[in-house]
Structure 1
Amino acid sequence: MERAQPNITNQQQMAENVEKLSQHRVEQVQRLEDTRKIQQEQLEMLVERLDEFVSTFNKGLSFRLDEQSGRSVVTVYEMSSGDIIRQIPEKEMLELAQQLSLHARGLVAEKV
């Protein structure tokens, strides 16, 4: 009994499908990396704005993005001593910025 030889067309189709899947995966990874980069840039801008906002009320605090930890953590420092007051994860930082933004709008509205 002879074994049927694989159909070359089927092999080619499978190879093309694998190539398409590989390319799709590469594109997904690239989009994910792009999204992370954008989020990191937004967080950096947020920390900068928050630092400027707080400095108008309190000259003793400073906000910095902790790059050494490899995570997106915002560190609150006491400016004169450099002591760490608190470290805030990215999610909490975004919530804090939103709350401060709401309060800042109220302050501006009251002044007008």
Structure 2
Amino acid sequence: MDQTYYNHLKKEKKIFENDIFIGSFYTNDIIAINGDRYRVIGVNNNKTNRIEVDKIHIRQTDYVKSNNVKESGRLLLTIGKKVTSIEKYHTDILGNMYKQQRPKTPQLVFKKG
């Protein structure tokens, strides 16, 4: 990705120059925010940095139904000033989880269609 354009996007989202690129999140990625692990469903609101996630071993909607919880069936997290750590994980074919290394630079991905 062109560094000038990337810096423009960072400024637009109020990300400081010295902040480090962690990685892009895609559906079903496993991430840890402040030590709690989640499965990514998708971006809920890009302008407010909100993402929709699920618990790893049970869907939030199933958890709410089975435990008679009066919460919404959705888990929405805001990535903001209170977030002190974000890590991305991947699993091997046996289900072992490994912390993923950060990419050196952001990549621009285009979808077909």
TM over 0.5: same fold? no
Instruction: Provide the TM-score with structure 2 as the length reference.
Output: 0.31
Q: Going by fraction, where is strand more abundant, 1 or 2?
A: 2
